[in-house]
Amino acid sequence: MTATDLVDRLAEHKTVGAAPREELAWLVSHGSLRHLNEGEVLSAKGVPVAGLFVVLTGHVAIFVDRGAGRHKVMEWRAGDVAGLLPYSRLVSPPGDSVAQEPSEILAVPRRDLAAMIRDCHEITSILVHKMLDRARHFTSSGLHDEKMLSLGKLSAGLAHELNNPASAIERSAALLGRRLEDAEQSTRALGASGLTDPQLLAIDAVRASCLATPVHGVLSPIQQAEREDAIADWLVDHGVDAAIAGPLAETAVTLDALDRIAVAVSGPPLSAVLRSVAAGYSVRGIASEIQEAARRISGLVTAIKGFTHMDQATVAEPVDLKWSLGNTVAVLKSKARSKSVAVTVNVEPDLPRVRGFVGELNQIWANLIDNALDAVPDSGRVEVTANRERQRVVVRVVDNGAGIPAEIREHLFEPFFTTKPVGQGTGLGLDIVQRLVSHNDAEIEVETALGRTEFRVSFPLAEVDGAGGQP
């Protein structure tokens, strides 16, 4: 193929075809025609990009693994351009660019791009616009992958968080059936006892004694065992089955109260009374445990819903940071618990709202707090605070980890930079945090030293100043 033929082909090219013919001729004179077989790598991850690639025929795609599995994030067909573009800071690609079918590429070496910018103004203008489109695509793709990876990491912890109260409900429901059967049997026995009104009043008194607030406070395991033994001895002395000593020991009933009921009721009715009292207290306790477990599930669902912001439009609005930070910490609680890390959230009372995109703010907190949890040792501390400082609201995420080494500090916000093992980090978290912070008209700073690292995000106040209430 002659140079003239190649220029003719470029003149029909979807991207560069509108450029003057002399500029197309410049590309041909400085470039080389490459033929790629299916599966051949055009540019490899971690290897400097050789130059500008003008795709004449075929199909090339870039595959990236950001921790959520290898997948295609962008592709180029006949009429597209790939590789290094004018003014791009790209050194090495984030993944492998592979030919999906036999392809022809006009490759212009990296060393000639400066001359192309000087000599080919139309082509440079065209390619700069392409570079902006590509940057937006990679940013959108990176944010999506980072969100999916974050949700993937959270899902295991959330499943554990939800499983605990769900299992408690299942166990309590099974136990509740047995306790209701005990209550029914003891109630039938009481009904057949022909109790007098004074005896019924005495029974009501002992029931009230059981439900009263314990005067002894919280007992140690040894003290509780001693209390159960004392009640068991009393039951045996009065001819009552000692099997109900455990349930009675959980109540606030005293030995004096038992003595009083024994004076009013004796023989088989006494056994029925105490069985009924123990079963009734157990039923109430089990119902309370079921209610608390259900409340925990409801709270988690509310936190997850608030974190993902499923029922809100993705528009800037006044945001209550108390809810935003609280929901994020709630969905990360399992990870903190697995390392015995103490996470505290302190939000200034009546903190003014900030204006932002709620889902994006939650993503910022998730990345910063998750990184802090990774940085601290077992039994470490992570402190999250939000305060008003003059005309701004400042959120701080502070951990007591080892700090960030100086050689890493300057790369913190670079895309694809990570110190985590392969598959555990995308290298996009802080890059995306910085982008989201900027999108929400905020600023982010970091200070680090041995034993203390602080990420600080500051926002201008929302136009509507106020606090309280869920956004």
CATH superfamily ID and name for 3-119: Jelly Rolls (2.60.120.10)
Give CATH 3.30.565.10 domain extents, the chain.
Answer: 312-460
Q: What is the mean pLDDT of residues 174-189?
A: 79
Determine the Cα–Cα distance for residues 368 and 432; give it in Å rounded to an integer: 11
Give all strands (DSSP E) within 248-321, no chain letters. 317-319
Band the pLDDT of 176: cuts 50, 70, 90. confident
Q: pLDDT for 351-407, tens place per residue?
A: 999 988 887 888 889 889 988 998 899 999 999 999 999 889 999 999 999 988 887
Q: Which two tokens stand for residue 305?
A: 């819903």
Q: pLDDT for 48-99, tens place per residue?
A: 888 999 999 999 998 877 555 576 777 889 998 888 888 776 667 778 889 9
CATH topology of domain 312-460: Heat Shock Protein 90 (3.30.565)
Is residue 399 within 8 Å of 453, Cβ to Cβ? yes
> Does the pLDDT of residue 260 top 90, yes or no?
no
Between the CA of residue 296 and those of 284, 453, 461, what are the distances in Å?
18, 32, 33
Q: Position 214: which residue type?
A: P
Determine the Cα–Cα distance for residues 156 and 153; give it in Å rounded to an integer: 6
> Does the pLDDT of residue 151 top 70, yes or no?
no
Mean pLDDT, the chain, integer: 80
For 102, the enclosing helix (H) or strand (E) is strand 96-109
Between the CA of residue 191 and those of 186, 188, 195, 208, what are the distances in Å?
9, 5, 8, 20
pLDDT for the residue 346:
93
Q: pLDDT for 97-137, tens place per residue?
A: 899 999 999 999 999 999 999 999 999 888 888 876 665 55
Determine the Cα–Cα distance for residues 378 and 351; give it in Å rounded to an integer: 32
The DSSP code for 426 is: -
> Does the pLDDT of residue 310 top 60, yes or no?
no
Q: What is the mean pLDDT of residues 263-277?
A: 82
Angle between helices 358-375 and 429-439 (to 10 degrees): 150
Give CATH 2.60.120.10 domain extents, the chain.
Answer: 3-119
Is residue 114 within 8 Å of 42, Cβ to Cβ? no
pLDDT for the residue 101:
94
Determine the Cα–Cα distance for residues 388 and 384; give it in Å rounded to an integer: 14
Is residue 341 within 8 Å of 372, Cβ to Cβ? no
Q: What are phi and psi of 199, to 5 degrees?
A: -65, -40
User: Rounded to two decimals, what is the model's pTM?
Assistant: 0.47
pLDDT for the residue 179:
78
Q: What is the mean pLDDT of residues 157-163?
A: 66
pLDDT for the residue 137:
53
